[in-house]
Amino acid sequence: MDDISVTRINGLIGAEIGNVDMSKDINDRTIEQITKALAENGVIFFRDQDLSADRQRAFARRFALPGAKRAPVADAQITMIEKEEQQLKNVGGGWHADQTFNEVPSWGSILAAKVLPSAGGDTVFASLAAAYDDLSEGMKTQLETMRAEHNNERVITSMSLLPQYAGAKAKVVKATHPVVIRHPITGRKSLFVNRGYTTHFEGWTQEESAPLLQYLFQKCERPEYQVRLKWRPGTVAFWDNLQVLHYAVNDYHGERRVMQRVSVSGIRLDRAGCTAAACVSQP
Ligand code: SIN
C-alpha cells in the first residue's frame, strides 16, 4: 500500500489527504499516517469518499490517543447534523470545540457530507495552537496555571429552539480543564477555551473572567489561524478538538444540509501530561 499524500492548505492549519479509500479496510500503517497528519495539521480533509454510516463508525474506531480506551462498537455513535429548508438556525453555528464540557473531552470528530446546499454551508476551522504560539511570554505564564469551567447549558438552551431537539431532555454537564494544554501526540501547547462552552476561570467569577476570556476567544478566531472547508459530495473532514475550533457557516437559508458525524473519544487532559504543572515543567 502506498503512503498517504498530505497537502497543506494554509500556513498554520489544515491539509488535504490523498490515497485513502474509506470504503475499504485501512491498514495500521495508513491509520498511523492519518493520525500523524491530523496531529500536525489540526484538521484534515478527504475528498471523493463513498462512506456509509457503518464504514464511518468502523473508521472512527481505528483511532485512539495514547492511553485512551478504543470506543466499543456501541459507542461509536452516528450523530446526524441537519438543517431543513424552513429552519433558520443551524447546529454548530458558533465557534466551539466538540464536547469540551465532558470530563473526558472528545479528541476527534469525523464529519461526512450527506446533503449539501447548492452553495454555502462551509465549515471554518481555527487553530488554538497557533493562537497560543502568538501570545506574549507574559500572557503564556499567566495562563499556564489557570483552569476554566466548560458547560453545555447555553448550548442546550439554544438547541432547544431547533425543531429536531424540541422536547429533548438534555442533561447539563460541566467540567474544568487547564486553559493551556499539551497535545498528547505532538507535545505542542495550545489554548483550550471556546466561546461555545467555556464560561469562567476556576476561582474567578463570570464577571471577572469575561474580559480575559473575550480576549482569548477573539485571539483564537483570527483569520490567520483559519482554514475554510468548501464541502463537496464525498468530502469527509476529521478534526482534532484538542487543537482546533470550528464554526458551521449558516448562509444557505431555504436549502437543506445534512451531515453525519462520529466522535473519537479522548483522554482526561490531566493524564495527557496536560496538567498545569506538566506544562510549566516542560519547555
Ligand atoms: C459541528 O459543529 O460539529 C457541525 C459542523 C458542521 O456542520 O459543519
* Residue-averaged pLDDT of the chain: 90
DSSP bridge partners of 97? none
Grid coordinates of 43: 484538521
State residue 65's pLDDT score: 87
Mean pLDDT along residues 164-172? 74
Mean pLDDT of 153-163: 75
More confident residue, 160 or 181: 181
Cα of 136 vs centre of ligand 1, distance in Å, is 31
Closest CA to 273 of 178, 142, 202, 171: 178
Is residue 177 a contact partner of residue 242, using CB atoms and an 8 Å limit? Answer: no
In this predicted structure, the answer to whether residue 73 has a pLDDT above a threshold of 70 is no
Task: Give Cα 119 distance to the centre of its chain.
Answer: 23
Bridge partners of residue 16, in order along the sequence: 7, 45
What is the H or E stretch that residue 189 is in?
strand 189-191
Which of 98, 150, 177, 182 is labelled catalytic?
98
Q: Residue 274: its pLDDT value, please?
A: 58
Closest Cα to atom 8 of ligand 1: 248
How far apart, in Å, are the Cα atoms of 152 and each of 11, 15, 213? 32, 30, 17
Q: Compute the distance between CA of residue 99 and CA of residue 265 in angstroms, rounded to an integer.
A: 10
Where is average pLDDT lowest: 13-22, 54-63, 150-159?
Answer: 150-159
Q: Please check whether residue 274 is in contact with residue 128, taking contact to mean a CB–CB distance below 8 angstroms.
A: no
State whether the beta carbon of 113 lies less than 6 angstroms from ligand 1: no
- Whether the predicted pLDDT of 72 surpasses 60: no
What pLDDT does 1 receive? 61
Question: What pLDDT shows up at residue 236?
Answer: 98
Cell output for 97: 470545540
Ramachandran class of 99: left when φ > 0, alpha when ψ lies in -120 to 50, beta otherwise: left
pTM for this predicted structure: 0.93
Give which of 61, 64, 52 is closest to 24, Cα–Cα.
Answer: 52
* pLDDT at residue 280 in the model: 40
pLDDT (mean) for 48-53: 95
Annotated active-site residue 98? The verdict is: yes
- CA 98 to ligand 1: nearest atom: 3
- In percent, the amount of the chain with pLDDT more than 90 equals 78
The predicted-structure confidence for 185-225, as pLDDT tens digits, reads as follows 998 999 999 999 999 999 999 999 999 999 999 999 999 99
121 lines ligand 1 (CB under 6 A): no
Task: Look up 96 and say whether it is catalytic.
Answer: yes
92 CA to centre of ligand 1 in angstroms:
5
Q: How many secondary structure helices (H) and strands (E) does the chain include?
A: 7, 15
> Is the pLDDT reported for residue 95 higher than 90?
yes
Q: Report the pLDDT averaged over residues 123-148.
A: 96
Q: Which CATH architecture has domain 5-277?
A: 4-Layer Sandwich (3.60)
Average pLDDT, integer, range 12-18: 98
